[in-house]
Structure 1
Amino acid sequence: MRAWVLLSAVLSYLAGVGRQRTSLFSRKGFVYGTVGHPVKIYVELHQNSPILVCMDMNHASKETVDPTFLWIGPNENTLTGNSRINITNTGKLIVKDFLEGLSGLYTCTLSYKIIKAETQEENTIKKRYDFMIFAYREPDYSYHMAVRFTTKSCAGRYNGLLFRVLKKILDNLISDLSCHVIEPSYKCHSVKIPDHDFIYELFIAFQVNPFAPGWKSVCHESADCEDTTNHNILKARDRIEEFFWRQAFILYHHFNKTVPAMHFVDHSFQVIRVDNCRPGFGKNEGLHSNCATCCVVCSPGTFSPDVNVTCQICVSVHAYGATSCP
């Protein structure tokens, strides 16, 4: 279970609010500041941020005299005139439809007065609260799979024929999900079975990928497509797993003593999920330990040009979400 609280349930009453991750949410779904310590917040791409409060929880529980609030956004920009930024008169901020470029340091200065009752003397107090907000997206799933088939010999054309037929069957099995088999390969090895002689087996490996030609058509013009592609790749995994389970079932229930020379080796099916991040995003457990499984936007000084899982260093990058190194 992820260490950071997933707040979609807590904030479901707010229209359009997506998934955010942080540690300082109140029961009402607000995020409070901490003096001297930036609060890290992770907002899913194209969703709304949580409600940021220009106070710490201690001040929020007491009365405040003549409070004023000044919000400064990334690059020291005053947060005015931006249709995505909503600031209330009580100092609460929400960012709508969060994008990569909105990531960065958000600072709020709270000014308020302390009045001595006996003299009416006023003192103005200022406190600064920092919020580091990062856009993130869920990783794209793919699956590495491996199976084994017995064969008569490591020589001859039938091994290659079986390999090609198997790939075609699997592609047809998942084509309606916009998934396909990529990087297929096989090798033939001799295997010594305990209390038996040597046998020959084909060790087959391949990857199941959710980006077959035309895959964008399944997104239905959605800004993000991870939910759809990840749902489809999970269905593809289940279909392929069932396919090989049926091979084992047929072998044991439809053949008596005569077993085909080339057949699926029971219990040989293996599957490993592989996560990839879109360009401009990457994983960094050290920097983003509270969103370690997320693909977080690459920070200034880093970039990611492909569907890898890490952001690379590039000192000439000064923006979030860079996909190239100038």
Structure 2
Amino acid sequence: GHVFIHAESSLFSLPCSPIEMEVPNPTFHWVHDKEDYGNLKVSSQGHLLFNQFQAGESGNYSCTISYMEHGLSESQTFHYSVLGYHVLGGLETVLLFQSKHCEEKWTKRFLWILQESLGQLAAEQHCKFQLLGASCFPTLNEPLRKVFVEVHLQVSFFGPHWDERCISQDQEKVIDCYHSVVRQNIWQVQLAMNSFFKEHKFFHISGADIPHVIFTNNFVGFLETKHCSGGYGQTKQLQRCLDCCIVCPPGTFSPPKDSQCSPCPVGTYSLMYGMAWCTPCKEGLVTRTAGTSSMENCVEEGEAKQALGAASQHPVFYCGFLSLYSSYYCYWTHQESPVLSPKASKRVHVTKMMEKMKKFFGFSKESPHDGPASVTANVTNSLDPSASQKADTEKKHEIPSLTTTPNLDVTKKTSPVSL
């Protein structure tokens, strides 16, 4: 049957048998559709253990219990379809900092220091901060001398040990516990962030290759969100929580905030559960149909055209985020009109939150915090560390390219970085 495990669950134990079996000296053998027993964590009682459950761990599992009965070797095999899910609830945060400079290299260092500073707060609140983008634009009062740096963060409440209050709950009631934790954390994180920026109003950037630059926090705004994470969709498979987001299976994808699992367009594929984007086939290759889950189905275009026959097709241009320095990948492919919904072609999301914040608060209503303290960092090296540390640092501290605007129309690039 189906087994639903919440994303980032601290510990989930799946028994080999759905009913308790009293057999002498049993042995257990677990198999996943992508890996064998050797790479799976199994307890002495034969329970399959998941720690900090990830979307990619979803899939089909089977467990065989073997034992001796009346001198004969017996075995029974049980099959499970494990699916990740998460309850709704999150925050988007806009931070406005005032500075005299808008140089990208200085602002990137500031963002790096900001993430380092927020790391402790994230650990205390059992949440995760994801840096979505940053923009630079002139102030209204002194447009030639001062600038605003807008930082856009997404807050996920599913950080390490976020569910410690719910681990001992009965599985029938655990979803109610998850909802309760998220509702409580929505307010706790807002209070914690407001307190943090009252205590850390100034961020000092200095170094041998840059002048002394100060970034002063002027505004902290929040917007509560209720949408699925990338790679999840509201498929209504979990009867006890119809609005919960279920992991998208291979062959489908769901961009952040889409909340719908859509088939991968023709010419693309997704290998794993929980994919936010589909991977394009190599140049000159295309898939025969939409919803492909294997790169082996990428064939030469001539073969694909014969397979598609007279199906109605039209070219579509897709873009998706790859990494910090390459920004987006883009490619042409073909889409069968009867197969894909309009949402399937919406590959680049441009958030409207900052415009809402501007309309509601207005830039003239700056709210400086009382009791300022200072966060000081003397940056003497490049943001890229030595070769031996470069891979780990880039994974943890990817910084999005700064978007500079000559007016107050702010354009963001989504460039996620998890803390």
- For CA contacts below 8 A with separation 6 or more, give which structure has more relative contact order: 2
* Structure of greater Rg: 1
TM bucket (normalised to shorter chain) is: 0.3 to 0.5
